[in-house]
Structure 1
């Protein structure tokens, strides 16, 4: 089994977004990871989930050590992620045949396949990557340079992992309520306070927030600091892990409560810009959240398809039942639409980093939009897939229950859905990003001359005009009204973007390969999510096997669908 081969959307998107030389370098490592994830890493993840880490606060001499013991299965997963595939280093150094930095998409593609096996470890992997990016962008000095070097290392004897400690009892969403304080200690700082939800709490390098002397009571009074696990002299830093959390999901990866007691720290960037600088790390992690949620969708659909193909009910395979097909097809369309958005976000991040102002403005709003929509949909898709397996799916011996448990975290980590929706509103207020997105997406739709896509193109162009008008109404409304409306608006905006990207990819696949399969996916997604036309979804069921298996669909085969209404 190979997770890459089971994914009909992945390779065509790679061909659309990556240059030939990058595709050639990616191909062997992607093929290897696809097989490894299915055959070795997924079974390890099942074991790690059932053997969570444990905390030893003291050694046998009574000295405080705060050592976390990991099961051997998790340690092997760590080796694969950090060393064999270098997932946290891919945005920072040449690996896997690249002399220079690979495109950001390479990291997201490989991580997407890895997460189909193991979700929990992907959090510290993402935070390690994001910590290096944030320190590189804002930090200065020898200690920070050395920290970056070790965060991006794949050497087992040299590499560091990263984390961010933000959440406090009263300061999760409202960072201005941060109670951790920083005091000057020569050229550096001492931090004191409690962090209530700290994932990967024994990380080597932690980025955290604290109030600094003379700062005001807003987020400008909160500075960003690098908190190393050990002081420069090698001694243990002055913070302790009070306990590990008993969590619904991500059981393989520890999260804990931490008390800082005059902990040694290094200032990162400008003191009064701490929260904005930390937002760089948070936003990077938010995009990874959307990618991880997409991976959970894909794995859960693979499991549902495998079950439906072998389960015989009333004398025939379950997958032949029309209602089962009508259940599975929208899930497939959701997963492919989500993957298309992740690819587009990765591409915009690359372009934004290269100085493209429009791309930078887009990724700023695309990141919360992707997290807001995809992470919530992953809860639905994984739940539906579990139900398809029935009682077996509810039993922990099968992977479905773990996928459902893990799926709930995406909508909570790095900001719950309401927080994320308000971030979308801020982007709209600051840069009219709803208009920028509409202009960009209309420019993608207008050149599509594929006759078979005509009804969908016209539908989406009309809806883009309407959603811009809705956005303008929200921006002109009283603040309370705007905040009340932004959640639903964000979901609708995300769906329109995803539908547009599906049609763009469909047009590309017809032009490149004379393959109409993606157009069927687009029709199913638009019928089920945009126009609420169930008959449009039913019409595509004639090609169900082609869609889920990734087979080529010719124009002649497509003609079996009912003629579109003008």
Structure 2
């Protein structure tokens, strides 16, 4: 069995960005409550969770279709390492429960999304796969709370339970063979029987197919074509009489990554189901589930980047080439610097999106509009960049990084998943374009972040105000182009929006801690490279150890790094 030696220090303690960012985005009471959890989960993630994840990845689940007597059971059997990972995620740290019930970890109300994503980010640095059913369980409870809370009170309670005897997991079955991206091609048909409905069709890629609670879309007769004709339904694993529902798992997918959890092809053979919310708004309700799942994808990719950076920094410090540590080699420093910056900017964007989601859930209409575009932007840019960062980490490790004894192959495999699940990068970019067309989302971003910059006492803030005006005008020109050209250009423009938001957040962070030269150096270096990619960031390269580990940087040196 491959074994990767984890560092003795916890992942939270070795992350120079996480705690300072939380100091800014959380109130004092929430910040105090999360601190012991950061330490505990960060330590476990660097030790037992990481070890169990290695075993679970090498021991994927298996489908047991029938009993020895020939009775169909469609049971998925997991390795004990998977069950231990589930214990930490669902029970010990309540990552699926905390957004839906009060009292978790001492919070008097529901735990903020920022806290949930910060803790999940630590967990995922060790175990990526479990975060998929975890996210769907969390999202399923959210959708039922939003759109049908009275009918599904028992299901919400089970999905948000931390009791191993009563907790349930959730899933979202959307993809069909003929219509992945084009959900309007869904062929699964719903039939009304008065007291319940039945669903008949086939789902081609169903993650967590053995879930207790499945949300899915099906065509409602007489409701119309395309997405208008789709209603949302809940399919339980067992019918009300206790018998097994007719959700047949035809086979499990042999996936490149995320191997610790199951994904499969599923046939719905007149499966028992009940409607969720307004059947005429099924697709819109599912879109809400998709949007929060996409933010989870971005969080997971940020976690993979942080783990990849940590592995690379550790290796280059230990490895000597021609008598000099790799970390001190000029070209290696130039390779590590953007990885370090990308990891820090990624978690800043995730926490910002989570904070705006908290505001939106509290009734802030402007925040709801903002998070609608921040989420696809985060997924588009962070997930795509994670593929590069994890690939660089493998190359930095060399031949050993290509061998399954190390964590690098798992990081690389899992990183590619982020850009595919819940919509590929092109699908997500087109979603950003829809937000721009219907909501002028690029202007909303420019207005919001310009307002947050204008009073900051940093020269970088003034440069960013000018940049936001330019980026907003560029978005207007994009919308004025022919529709095919809009689609051609939107991927590049989405990244530009994302990176300008990230620059704003890093400058805000530096302003929040005016005596922190490291935060100012990060912000100045990011902005300089964003504005002039050919810049040689000498100050940052000279202070790479402080950027990698945290540490003191003279303010005078950080101020010199601004080159725009």
Distance, in Å, in 2 between the alignment partners of 1:183 and 1:221 is 13
**Does the 8 Å CA contact 1:180/1:192 hold for their aligned counterparts?**
yes
Q: 1:350 pairs with 340, 353, 358, which one? A: 358
Match for residue 495 of structure 2 among 474, 483, 491: 491
Q: Which residue of 1 aligns with 2:528?
A: 527
Q: Secondary structure at the match of 1:390?
A: helix
Q: Go from structure 1 to structure 2 and tell me whether the alpha carbon gap of 1:120 and 1:243 turns closer, same or farther (over 3 Å shift).
A: same
Query: 2:82 matched to 1:81?
Result: no
Preserved contact between residue 424 and residue 490 of structure 1 (Cα < 8 Å): yes
1:59 corresponds to 2:63: no
SS state of the match for residue 247, structure 1?
coil
Kindly indicate whether residue 210 of structure 2 is the aligned counterpart of residue 202 of structure 1: yes
Distance 1:476 1:326 in 2: 39
Cα 1:100/1:141, change in 2 over 3 Å = closer
Matched residue SS, 1:124: helix
State how far apart, in whole Å, the 2-side matches of 1:107 and 1:493 are.
25
Indicate yes or no: 2:190 matched with 1:182: yes
Aligned counterpart, 1:397: 405
Match of 2:455 among 432, 437, 447: 447
1:543 is aligned to 2:552: no
Cα deviation, 1:185-243, whole Å, max 9, x if unaligned, reads: 22210000000000000000000000011121121100000010000111100111000
Judge conservation of contact 1:296–1:407 (CA < 8 Å) in 2.
yes
Residues 499, 112 of structure 1: alpha-carbon distance in 2 compared, 3 angstrom cutoff: same
- Cα offset for 1:99? 2.4
- Write out per-residue CA displacement over residues 50-80 of structure 1, whole angstroms, 9 at most, x where no aligned residue: 1100001001110000111101111100011
Alignment check: 8 A CA contact 2:528 2:563 kept: no
Match of 1:275 among 283, 296, 301: 283
CA distance in 1: counterparts of 2:470 and 2:516, whole angstroms: 31
Task: Select the residue among 361, 382, 385 that pairs with 2:390.
Answer: 382
Deviations 1:344-388 (A, max 9, x none): 101100011111111110000000010011000000011011111
How far off is 1:181 after superposition? 0.3
By how many angstroms is 1:171 displaced? 1.6
- The answer on 1:136 being equivalent to 2:116 is no
Q: TM-score if structure 1 supplies the norm length?
A: 0.96
Q: How far apart are residue 478 of structure 1 and its match? A: 2.2
Identify which of 87, 101, 108 aligns with 1:99.
108
User: Helix, strand or coil for the counterpart of 1:241?
Assistant: strand
Contact 1:290 1:374 in 2 (8 A): yes
> Counterpart in 1 of 2:168?
160
Q: How far, CA to CA, are the matches of 1:240 and 1:204 in structure 2?
A: 14
CA distance in 1, matches of 2:177, 2:349: 34
**1:329–1:524 contact (8 Å) kept in structure 2:** no
Unaligned runs of 5+ in 1: none
1:331 shift after superposition: 0.5
- Equivalent-residue separation in structure 2 for 1:415 and 1:525 (angstroms): 28
Tell me if structure 1 keeps the 8 A contact 2:129–2:258.
yes
Q: CA deviation at 1:539?
A: 2.8
How far is 1:462 from its partner? 2.6
Q: After TM superposition, give the deviation of residue 461 of structure 1 in Å.
A: 2.5
Q: CA deviation at 1:140?
A: 4.9
Between the aligned partners of 1:282 and 1:149, the Cα distance in structure 2 is 21
3-state SS of paired residue (1:191): strand
Q: Report the alpha carbon displacement of residue 104 of structure 1 after superposing the two structures with TM.
A: 1.2
Please tell me whether the aligned partners of residues 239 and 258 of structure 1 are also in contact (alpha carbons under 8 angstroms).
yes
In structure 2, C-alpha distance between the alignment counterparts of 1:351 and 1:565, rounded to whole Å: 35
User: Runs in 1 of length 4+ with deviation above 6 angstroms?
Assistant: none
SS in 1 for 2:197: strand
Determine which of 177, 193, 206 is the counterpart of 2:201.
193
Aligned to 2:6: none
- The CA deviation at 1:528 is 2.7
Gaps of 5+ in 2: 1-8
Native 8 Å contact 1:509 1:515 kept in 2? yes
User: Secondary structure of the equivalent of 2:104?
Assistant: coil
The 8 Å contact of residues 198 and 272 in structure 2, kept in 1 or not, is answered as yes
